[in-house]
Structure 1
Amino acid sequence: MNLPLLIGLRYTRAKRKNHFISFISLISMGGIAIGVMTVIVVIGVMNGFNKEFQDRMLSTVSHATISAFQGEHLNDYQNAIEKVTAHPEVTGAAPYIRTEGMLQGMNTEGALIQGIVPTDEKQVTEFQNNMRYGQLDDLQAGEFNIILGIDLAAHLGVGPGDKVTLYVPEFRTTAVGITPRLKRFTVTGVFEVGMYEYDFKLALIHLKDAATLLRLPKGAAEGVRIKVNDLMQAPRIVRELGPRLEGFYRIRDWTQEHVNYFKATKTERTVMFIILSMIVAVAAFNILSTLVMLVTDKQSDVAILRTLGLSGGQVMGVFMVTGTLIGFIGTVLGTIAGLLFAININSIIATLESWFNTSFLAKDVYYISEIYADLHAADVLTIVGIAFGLSILATLYPAWRASRVQPAEALRYE
């Protein structure tokens, strides 16, 4: 067996008087393991949070949007739909009218009112799959039906079959003065997207009912929402759709609509990765201090080995093997623990919430009320590489000091 490897492996085990050093080695190993586990779990949860948020957001938000300039409407949205659906990568298009309003049931709450055409809406969003009661087809023109988010319906104290009054910022003059436009709607459905922003603030009505309420011309819409077969290709497809429209339209893809969010999460993930890597760096310093104490404790052994012909490089190899083994075992244990923890994070959080009778992610505070982990092989390999690399770097200085031990000085008082 390679001599430095053999001696290095022996130094990792406790021998008579050096139990304290072996205990410090275990602490260093545990530090590396905890650091690696923490980074894997946090990065996995951040990936999962971003993926879940993106999936839920894009289930209700279109991949791209065509609209007129500020304050104007598309007077012939059918023409725009025909032109964009001619593109082979566009899978659906649907008109919409969006306005803010006040809904009154047993309670009153502001809401985002969205006028849609049910048959077209099914092609661009997942509302139909998220219905808890009723169907999108229950929205019939002229019947003034409304579908509410589940939290909005609960707050208003209404359910299917109940009436709500919708007030919109479209004022009219009457004998008693200026009053807002209002209309009674019948609740025919309830949806649950899983994002509090939509479940508490969004209500759906038929496009023609919205146009009537806002006094828009027949056949007008605020814009057209587009769905493509690959949302990651939406920016390119949008650039190709521009010349097809042949008019003064404003067309934007989902990355432009939510660019600030995605830039913020990307920056946050990078900064979090750097900060958490400091935990691994601190654990690597523990390896360095452990090896420094080991070198001091083994000076006489090193001196004897040098007199027997062991070179300075071989002495360095002895202590590098010891430190590398500590880092390797710690990294492996941390990786296994991190993967297991991340995979079962949802059940672990649910158990803790039941034990402490609390909710870590309140629906009215966070966009998503459940924690998911999305592990990427590249992230795990990067974390493992950084941890193991820092462990090896931490061995260089103590090993170099050991190679500089002078046999005569080390054995002078032996």
Structure 2
Amino acid sequence: MTRENEARPDAARRWAILVLLGLGAMLAFVSRTNMGAALALGAFTHQFGLTDVGRGWLNSAFFWSYAALQIPMGWVVDRYGVKWPYAIGFILWCIATAACGMMTALGGLVVVRLITGAGEAIVIPASYRWIRSNFAENESGIAVGIYMLGTKVGSAIGTPLAAWLIVAFSWPLMFILIGLIGLFWLLPWLVLVRASDAGAGPPPDTRSHPHIPFANIMKSPMVWGSIIINFCYNYFVFYCMTWMPAYLVERRHLSLNRMGFYSFFSFMGIALVALVSSWIADEMVRRGRDPVAVRKGFVIAGFVIACTELLGATTNSIDLALFWAVISLSGLGLATANHLTLCRLTLIPEGVVGLVAGVQNVSTSVAGIVAPILTGWLKQTSGGYEAPMTAIFFFLVLGAVSCLVLLQRKWAPVVPEAVELEGA
């Protein structure tokens, strides 16, 4: 038994920490989606004097700092571990979320959203670093599926919860409650996670985790393929987080509470599909199927089904529009855990999982910046939601093609020591 295996938590604590990571991600996504509900409220946009383009810029503010800190946070968790960096980031984003409810000027609102993004930048690199170190290949799909369930449940409940709190109280109190209640998560995190856990600190045996130069990572076509796929996948997801509430209220004339209901079912659909499809993929891998081929098949199928969002954009029927809104986002769940398992675990050497996850998540963050801004601009210039949703269709097709062509073992990041041994 290696020193690293000895450092791993026992089975019960390992799965408990995984669930806790999922809950942390859920709280993070509630914090980032609540702005979409506020921006669907006329009184909120009027108070801050926001146009459609202005709404897009405010929705994207979170992702400017989030994107800038992804690679640094990946380096931090690979070097210093998961436990304390995650705890510090968690406290920061919860306090900043609460502070949104205290802002009376647009400039202050933008600043606290930037701080929220900075705090949440730790979430993805830390989570995938921990999962990669604690789960085998034939468990990694379901592990990522459980973790991603938290992100999707957060997205599912974030909008309706925010809408309910706005209707029941006010938009300032909505931000304050969501921010402060989340802090209760810290106690079990500090109790369960140990600095000595594998994946919660520098690898104990550096010879088993050879250094991979950053240049080698960025030379990998597979990494660039994952960057494109992350962007395309998340462009649709972040459109749904930031603009779908306004689309349902303004274009489909739903009430704020009914809008929250359909947002909930859309994101719960993607969560459940992601969990089931990741379990099926794990079972196929366990029975001897090639993990790369299996997971690529699920990813491509997810992108293809998600393309049905264009049917919802072009119909005049409210019922059909709502049907395709749920089906398209739910179908994307086939790609959710499988593309992340493939791009951040299966094809990535363990010693740089945090760093590579940070690199890949920059494209996720860029999608969070581009989707709300481009949607706002297209809506304002075209006068409707058809043009923004046509852009989504284009990116989904690009994601499917990139997965088919670029996600190959031969193009994964190169470990220098492995190359030397082959040539010896």
- Normalised by the length of structure 2, the TM-score is 0.23
Higher fraction of strand:
1
- The structure in which a higher percent of residues are helix is 2
TM-score (norm 1): 0.23
